[in-house]
């Protein structure tokens, strides 16, 4: 006991020193250029061009032919989703895709919101831009950029967009929402040069928002979207009015975090841990060495040799669907690994899931999306942005089935102005798509706190 208290005091002092030192730091970056070859002479074309998703008979026939030619590999008996996507269920998904899924109809759905492209740093950046239709006289919309992750897309936000742009409550904020595709994902062009990481994506999206005339705006993200919007706040804290994240892994495992892991179970109050924190944290901490090995193989491949595995996925729609949808199963609820159908249709419709897969398939962007892992770890696990705090007002929505649980204390280590921290009632990693209503509510709550309306 005495030893523990002494340890706490020493580590506490170290924490204070570390915090004090890192407070002054601001994230720096330099402009890049990601097109093929060398940059053309003269200024970049900064025009904003309307864009529509399109399809063709050839595209659909090619897809159907490939689905017809898939070569099933029977899964092991009673393996559920533990060896990866169950083969029997995968055949059902493929049959649905082949015979019932109507891509033309989904393309119409994608086009229900206005899409645009504009060139930034040599590559075309795609985004959806949705403004409120029925804004009452005298009220202005609040600009918000929402950034998806892997293996998702801007389509993850289609359920939440109407809730944010046309809120039902009169005292709720009406948002004007911009959902870009990360370069290399979906309809945004892939960088042709090495090195395009989350800080580059953040810089590109800051330029996008500036080009759209937004001097100050809010940002929201999960998965890579968390990293990118966090980097945006670190690069330009005056532009990002507030940051709302639904994924907040600890990047800088400092002494206080280590101490809280060691002592949090016995002295939860010391670290502000709730009963729920203890429940969520400890079974997982004990499995800390085993779980990552079980669930992060994709990560190692993508952070090392994305182009090799990516080639197969880009040739086979059924393989691509298995690779992407396995994540929508396991990352929504780890228990879903014990179901033959991976629980996929408990939270999502096959129509929505396959629309997301089609965004990767039709653009041939799985390989470039995977490369983002390699680029983000090219500089090791502690790049400069991992060590710098976020100084803009931040809100964290902690969903119960998120890949890793982040207690409030940990979130505060990084986000010095943590304004809201909500323990969400239900939901997992793809929270905006799975629980659009809960997510919209929490964004409203956060904005009201930041704007001083609550
Ligand atoms: C998964 O698929 C295989 C055949 O592809 C089957 O034998 C197995 O029992 C299936 N279901 C479960 C729950 O593992
Ligand atoms: C697919 O959707 C398109 C566009 O909504 C529609 O015109 C077409 O009839 C649909 N096809 C089938 C087979 O339902």
Answer yes or no: is the C-beta of 72 below 6 A from any ligand 1 atom: no
Is the pLDDT score of 15 beyond 60? no
pLDDT above 90 as % of the chain: 81
Ligand 1 pocket, mutate which of 72, 73, 76 (most atoms under 8 A from CB): 76
Report residue 279's pLDDT band, with 50, 70 and 90 as the boundaries: confident
Q: What is the mean pLDDT of residues 145-154?
A: 98
Write down the pLDDT at residue 238: 97
Which atom of ligand 1 lies at the shortest distance from residue 339's CA? Answer: 13
Ligand 2 pocket, mutate which of 102, 103, 351 (most atoms under 8 A from CB): 102
Paired sense of beta strands 115-120 and 123-130, if any: antiparallel
Is the pLDDT score of 251 beyond 90? no
Answer yes or no: is the C-beta of 74 below 6 A from any ligand 1 atom: yes
Write down the pLDDT at residue 10: 59
Report residue 232's pLDDT band, with 50, 70 and 90 as the boundaries: very high
Check whether domain 50-111+302-380 has CATH 3.40.50.300, yes or no:
no
Write down the pLDDT at residue 7: 61
Catalytically annotated residue among 218, 323, 373, 421 = 373
Ligand 2, atom 9, lies closest to the CA of 105
Report residue 167's pLDDT band, with 50, 70 and 90 as the boundaries: very high
The number of the ligand nearest the C-alpha atom of 102 reads 2
Report residue 6's pLDDT band, with 50, 70 and 90 as the boundaries: low
| More confident site: 138 or 194 | 194
- The SS3 assignment for 258 reads helix
| Cα(226)–Cα(148) distance, integer angstroms | 8
What is the chain's mean pLDDT, rounded? 93
Ligand 1, atom 9, lies closest to the CA of 77
The number of the ligand nearest the C-alpha atom of 106 reads 2
| More confident site: 12 or 414 | 414
Instruction: Indicate the pTM of the whole model.
Output: 0.93
Catalytically annotated residue among 113, 126, 127, 223 = 223
Write down the pLDDT at residue 285: 65
Answer yes or no: is the C-beta of 85 below 6 A from any ligand 1 atom: no
CATH of 113-252+382-454, one of 3.90.1150.10, 3.40.50.1820, 3.30.930.10, 1.10.730.10: 3.40.50.1820
Is the pLDDT score of 5 beyond 60? no
Max alpha carbon distance in the chain (Å)? 74
Answer yes or no: is the C-beta of 91 below 6 A from any ligand 1 atom: no
| More confident site: 379 or 158 | 158
Answer yes or no: is the C-beta of 338 below 6 A from any ligand 2 atom: no
Write down the pLDDT at residue 444: 98
Q: Where are the domains of the chain?
A: 50-111+302-380, 113-252+382-454
Dig out the tokens for 311 from the structure. Answer: 């080639």
Q: What is the mean pLDDT of residues 65-88?
A: 95
Is the pLDDT score of 12 beyond 80? no
Is the pLDDT score of 284 beyond 70? no
Nearest to 344 by CA among 433, 246, 245: 433
pLDDT digits (tens, 9 = 90+) for 81-130: 999 999 999 999 999 999 999 999 999 999 999 999 999 999 999 999 99
Q: Fold identical between 50-111+302-380 and 113-252+382-454?
A: yes
């Amino acid at each position: 006991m005495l030893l523990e208290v002494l340890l706490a005091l020493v580590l506490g002092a170290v924490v204070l020193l570390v915090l004090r030192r890192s407070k002054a730091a601001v994230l720096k970056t330099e402009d890049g250029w990601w097109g093929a070859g060398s940059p053309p002479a003269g200024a970049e074309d900064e025009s904003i061009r309307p864009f529509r998703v399109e399809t063709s008979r050839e595209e659909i026939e090619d897809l159907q032919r490939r689905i017809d030619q898939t070569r099933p590999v029977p899964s092991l008996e009673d393996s559920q989703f533990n060896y990866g996507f169950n083969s029997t269920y995968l055949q059902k998904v493929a049959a649905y895709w082949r015979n019932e899924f109507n891509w033309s109809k989904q393309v119409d759905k994608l086009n229900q919101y206005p899409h645009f492209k504009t060139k930034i740093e040599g590559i075309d950046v795609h985004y959806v831009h949705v403004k409120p239709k029925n804004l009452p006289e005298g009220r202005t919309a609040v600009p918000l950029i929402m950034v998806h992750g892997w293996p998702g897309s801007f389509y993850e936000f289609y359920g939440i967009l109407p809730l944010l742009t046309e809120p039902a409550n009169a005292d709720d904020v009406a948002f004007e929402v911009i959902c870009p595709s990360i370069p290399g994902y979906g309809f945004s062009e892939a960088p042709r040069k090495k090195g395009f990481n989350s800080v580059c994506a953040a810089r590109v999206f800051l330029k996008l928002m500036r080009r759209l005339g937004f001097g100050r705006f809010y940002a929201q993200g999960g998965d890579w979207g968390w990293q990118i919007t966090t980097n945006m706040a670190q690069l330009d804290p005056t532009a990002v009015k507030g940051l709302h994240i639904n994924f907040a892994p600890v990047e800088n495992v400092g002494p206080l975090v280590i101490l809280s892991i060691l002592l949090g179970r016995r002295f939860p109050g010391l670290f502000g841990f709730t009963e729920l924190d203890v429940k969520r944290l400890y079974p997982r901490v004990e499995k800390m060495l085993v779980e990552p090995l079980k669930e992060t193989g994709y990560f190692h491949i993508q952070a090392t040799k994305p182009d090799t595995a990516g080639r197969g996925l880009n040739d086979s729609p059924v393989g691509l669907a298995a690779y992407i949808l396995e994540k929508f199963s396991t990352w929504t609820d780890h228990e879903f690994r014990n179901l033959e159908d991976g629980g996929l249709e408990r939270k999502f419709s096959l129509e929505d899931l396959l629309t997301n897969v089609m965004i990767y398939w039709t653009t041939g962007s799985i390989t470039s999306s995977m490369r983002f892992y390699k680029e983000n770890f090219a500089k090791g696990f502690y790049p400069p942005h991992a060590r710098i705090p976020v100084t803009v007002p931040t809100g964290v929505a902690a969903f119960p089935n998120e890949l890793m649980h982040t207690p409030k204390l940990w979130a505060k280590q990084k986000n010095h102005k943590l304004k809201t921290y909500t323990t969400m009632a239900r939901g997992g990693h793809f929270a905006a798509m799975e629980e659009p209503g809960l997510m919209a509510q929490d964004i409203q709550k956060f904005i009201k706190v930041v704007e001083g309306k609550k």
